Chains A and B, each alone.
Chain A
Amino acid sequence: MANLKELSKNPERVTGGHRLCAGCGAGIVARQTLIAAGNTPVVLTSATGCLEVSTTVFPYTAWKTPFFHSAFENSAATCSGIETAYRSLKKQGKISDDIRFIAFGGDGGTYDIGLQSLSGAMERGHRMLYICYNNEAYMNTGIQRSGATPLGAHTTTAPAGKARQGKEQHRKNLTEIMIAHGIPYVAQAYVGNWNDYITKVQKALSVDGPSFINIFTPCRLGWNYKPEDTMPLARLAVETCVWPSYEVENGVYKINVTPKEKKPVTEFLKPQGRFKHLFKPENAHIIEAIQKEVDMKWELLQRKASAGCQA
């Protein structure tokens, strides 16, 4: 459990003045990640995306710690290359610092185009933390559907129209895919609970091997809501069990945040423009399908957690 007073003493290694939108969840993820790392030296990599382009407009940078970007689909492979260089140079006595490695990627760069690179890096066992800041679509290119986009959401490549009502498929469960890799630490987190997230980052950085965090990161532009609602909206995702906060540590499931009262999914869907069309009477069946899917997944997760289930 993180202590706010102690955390406040940690250095700020991502500065303000970057060009992310007001209310952007990704900036919060970056800042809290580095606060969690405290004084530990970290080298960061990032997939091409909002976080990268908005923080590194040459000749400026928002990063006070080494930051490297090369392409879209390879944040994990890139981080693995740096981590390998570190092991090699350390073994030879050319580096003495104890350094940690963190790779960032959006859901496009993680669920879709970067999945192979991520899977490879996790399987190879590099000591690195991969953080997917998941805003459920390709936001940097203008809100296109990804493998993380949920059923019914309007995006510019799976739009709501006269004949179709947004994305016609459920999102894939990337967190479970990462759990299936058998790595020491996997977690789902969300923007809007600093304590939960920071604790997870600290746990992930402490394991001697690969770790993965999938953090639910609202995008005010792509989801179409008021910028000040980023955190409440992410909390609603947890309270409705649309996005449970849980972790799998050495194969054991644990739910980190259990809603006092499980709210209906409509409470999460309603404030967002991307789901507006679902509230037409003729689309009630889509909301029903979303609710059904959420209920089923939540039930399954609870069973895994209560059984102390091994992944």
Chain B
Amino acid sequence: MIKTVYPKGKIAAKTGNEVMAEAMRQIEPDVVAAYPITPATEIVQIFSQFVADGIVKSEYVAVESEHSAMSATIAASAAGARAMTGTSSQGLALMWEMLYIASGLRLPIVMAEVNRALSAPINIHGDQSDTMGARDSGWIQIYSENSQEAYDNMIQATKIAEKAKLPTLVTTDGFIISHCMEVVETYPDADVKAFVGEYKPERYLLDIKKPYTLGSIDLQDYYFEHRYQLAQAMKDSQNVILEVAKDFEKTFGRKYDMYEKYKLDDAELAIVVIGSTAGTAKVVVDALREKGVKAGLLKIRVYRPFPAEMIAKDLANVKAIAVMDRADSCSGTFAPVYSDVVAALYSAGFTVPKVVNYVYGLGGREINTEHITQVYDTLGKIASGKEKPFAGIEYINVRIK
């Protein structure tokens, strides 16, 4: 019998998409504008059924493209509405221009995102290329290991976005989480609503008694200051995220942080990973620990803002680290998460850990416990000096030649 963490919680079997839609129903935004795309379609499909059945007060705009989805969501948010959308992959890519505008205008939009590979070749399965491509767009990015986290993250995201005045996206790994039925604990509607609170924008377009112009042209004399303020807001949002996590834990009992440390404190070998693969890696860590190997894991939950200082401290005493990226930056050198982790360590003055970079799971390619065990084996050899850390990227489970 699975027990609830929250006394009033309810246990149900739900997919990642279903719980994201469920969180949206409970938050009940004023406006949702979205366009269908595999594997995120279900989220807005379920939500539009809520609208059709009259169980939410939200208005749903079935726009003609993701570009218009983000445009309409931005506009609704600027108008004074709590606004949300959902997308994946090519959809996020089509929104790219508007992502920067959402953050530049400091609009607290929340997006339910499902990670999927980018074309070409076209592929509908899970990898994180889409949101990694948007990592510099000024959006807070929160990744989920499973459906429970996706649900909890959506609830927190609404509060985070509105407090930080930054758009926020919550992701799940395409199909692996979005379509996987899992046991999830949901909380009563009233409690979620009370936690999220009412949205009270300071300035909004529909406040016709205080007319204002939004989206001005900003030239050499102001643009830089506005972009600087955005960068500062992103930096400062770490405190907001941690505060909201604390509130969330106090209210619903589940603990969240910028990242999760799994058996990391005394670890000599560690993997840094984002999303559902962390679940698989934890199984490997447990097995290795039973054999006496000091293996640990750092699962990044919030990738933007990147908690560089905290991560550096927690990895400082690890002998060998593998950063596993589910996206490639095609830079000729390293993948995105690796670059951030190494920069974090180096800038904090920690140069002892040997850090290597793996890219895995592109286009939904399987990643299993054997692959991860091999990564730890390699880390063991690097830590003991039997092997030199490899340069560049090692690609897991790919046919090369």
Instruction: Give me the interface of A with B, judged by CB distance under 8 Å.
Output: 41, 43, 45, 52-53, 56-59, 61, 63-71, 73-74, 77-82, 84-89, 91-92, 95, 97, 99, 116-117, 119-121, 123-124
Contacts and interface: CB of A to CB of B under 8 A. Distances in A.
B24 to A, nearest CB: 14
A53 B97 CA distance: 18
A56 B33 CA distance: 27
16 contacts: A58-B216, A70-B74, A71-B71, A74-B67, A81-B33, A81-B75, A81-B76, A81-B83, A82-B76, A84-B31, A85-B206, A86-B79, A89-B206, A92-B57, A116-B68, A120-B65
B61 A74 contact: no
B366 interface: no
Interface string B41-77: 0000000000000000111011111011001111111
Interface residues of B, number: 43
A70 B217 contact: no
Nearest to B105: A70
A120 B205 contact: no
A89 B81 CA distance: 7
Interface of B: 30-31, 33, 57-59, 61-65, 67-68, 71-81, 83, 97-98, 101, 105, 205-208, 211-219, 222
A279 to B, nearest CB: 38
A87 B62 CA distance: 15
B202 to A, nearest CB: 14
A162 B98 CA distance: 42
B101 A99 contact: no
Contacts of A73: 67
Given A56-B217, A77-B68, 10 more contacts: A57-B217, A58-B222, A65-B211, A70-B74, A71-B71, A74-B67, A82-B78, A82-B206, A89-B30, A120-B65
Contacts of B207: 66
Contacts, number: 163
Contact of B208 (A45, A85, A97, A116): A97
Nearest to B60: A84
A85 B68 contact: no
Given A45-B75, A82-B205, A71 B97 contact: yes
Contacts of A99: 206, 208
A84 B33 contact: yes
B108 to A, nearest CB: 14
B64 A58 contact: no
Contact of B75 (A53, A78, A89, A116): A78
B72 A77 contact: yes
Contacts of B83: 81, 85
Contacts of B71: 70-71, 74, 77-78, 81, 117
A58 B97 contact: no
Contacts of B80: 85, 89
Contacts of A91: 57, 59
B72 A80 contact: yes
Given A43-B208, A68-B215, A85 B75 contact: yes
A37 to B, nearest CB: 12
A68 B205 contact: yes
Given A81-B33, A92-B30, A97-B208, A57 B68 contact: no
Nearest to B208: A41
B242 to A, nearest CB: 31
A43 B63 contact: no
Contacts of B31: 81, 84-85, 88
Most chain-A Cβ atoms within 10 A of its Cβ — which of B72, B83, B222? Answer: B72
